Amino acid sequence: MKKRILASLLVLGTAALSGCDDSKSESSPASVPTAPTSSSSSSSPASAPEAQTPAEPKMDDQEKAYLTSKKTSLYIKATNAFGSGPLDGTSSWPEKEKKVKAGIEKKDYRVVESFLYFSSRGHVRLKENLQLALKEDKITLDALDEKAEKLIAELDKLIPVWEKLEQYNKTKKFEDDNGAQGKEMMEIFTPAYNSVKALYADFGKDVSAAASEMKKQRMERYKQEGRLLELYSEESIELARGILHQFKSTKDFKNKEKVDAANALLAQLEEKLEAQIAEYKKAEEEGKNPSSYYKTINDQLINFIGDYRKARKSPNTWVEYMYNDFNRAVDANNNIR
């Protein structure tokens, strides 16, 4: 069966490459090296033949493309999971975001408080997902692998001290030592946090570039093969992404030009979703058993549209819901096998 290369996480197993040579007949005896003959009455013992390491089978272009897609998809999943929340400035709790940023730079140990929703969990998950991608060692993606390894190394410095700070604040130990240990830990935390942030920004750009290229190739293939359900699903997600990109902060919802641009994309999105669900129903009627995730994509983007219209009036309340709807649609698309 022809392998299908997806930009989402691929879980198809790859066939193990055999090291045997089928051209050899089983009935042919193995040749045994003979000792060299000598005219001398005292013959020297024959030396054992040198063991030859069998050459590793070459990877064909299809296998290479498949493994590249699979590993890149794991990096995409890692960055999607890490960046699944709203962008800076679009949170429902902008004042808390400001406190977190200021606290990090001022090396205030109290910034690591549960009520600020600033925990190590996202960074722990990022590290785990990067490690998962690096385990796919049948293929090497030089730039991404190297940057992922550097990021993990820096996360290894950040996460332990972060977790200690969380425990320190949770147990109110600062009341016993007047914050001495907390201040000491922040001397490690702040530079490590900023280093991870910088490394991730660089890594994220490379992953985004790789994702864009994969998406471009995938959508072109869908067009050529007439796979309209897949194509319309991808195009719908991109239109929703375009709406989100109009708003870098909640203040942008007061910008008429940005809102007008988003509204134009909204009209296209609604039209595209109608076409997408029509293709889904058609596939069902034809007995093709389409993945229910296509319906999930449609449902979540319909929710996205409703939350966008609410966000135009009350962005601080509804923008986060838009991001949640969008990310669920993306997750559904990534889960399609």
Q: Over its length of 337 residues, how does the chain's per-residue pLDDT go in tens digits?
A: 433 333 333 222 222 222 333 333 333 333 333 333 333 333 444 455 555 555 555 667 788 888 988 999 899 989 988 874 433 444 556 677 788 888 899 999 998 876 667 889 999 999 999 999 999 989 999 889 999 999 999 999 999 999 999 999 999 999 999 999 999 999 999 999 999 999 999 999 999 999 899 889 889 999 999 999 999 999 999 999 999 999 988 899 999 999 999 999 999 999 999 999 999 999 999 999 999 999 999 999 999 999 999 999 999 889 989 999 998 999 899 888 5
Closest CA to 146 of 203, 66, 65, 83: 203
Q: Are residues 180 and 103 in contact, defined by beta-carbon separation less than 8 angstroms?
A: no
**In angstroms, rounded to a whole number, what is the distance separating the alpha carbons of residues 320 and 325?**
9
Using the 8-state DSSP alphabet, how is residue 3 labeled?
Answer: -
Query: Angle of helix 228-245 relative to helix 292-311, nearest 10 degrees?
Result: 20
**In angstroms, rounded to a whole number, what is the distance separating the alpha carbons of residues 168 and 173?**
5
Residues in contact with 307: Cβ distance below 8 Å, sequence separation at least 6, in sequence order: 318, 321, 322, 325
**In angstroms, rounded to a whole number, what is the distance separating the alpha carbons of residues 298 and 278?**
11
Burial class (CB in 10 A: 0-12, 13-18, 19+), 150: middle
Which pLDDT value is given to residue 230? 97
Q: Are residues 114 and 170 in contact, defined by beta-carbon separation less than 8 angstroms?
A: yes
Which pLDDT value is given to residue 114? 63
**In angstroms, rounded to a whole number, what is the distance separating the alpha carbons of residues 168 and 301?**
42
Query: Rounded to 5 degrees, what are φ and ψ at 138?
Result: -70, -20
Q: Which residue type is seen at 333?
A: N
82 HSE (CA, 13 A, CB side): 22
Which pLDDT value is given to residue 118? 81
Which pLDDT value is given to residue 94? 64
Which pLDDT value is given to residue 38? 35
Q: Are residues 296 and 200 in contact, defined by beta-carbon separation less than 8 angstroms?
A: no
329: which 2 tokens? 């649609």
Tokens 């280093």 correspond to what residue? 195
Residues in contact with 36: Cβ distance below 8 Å, sequence separation at least 6, in sequence order: 46
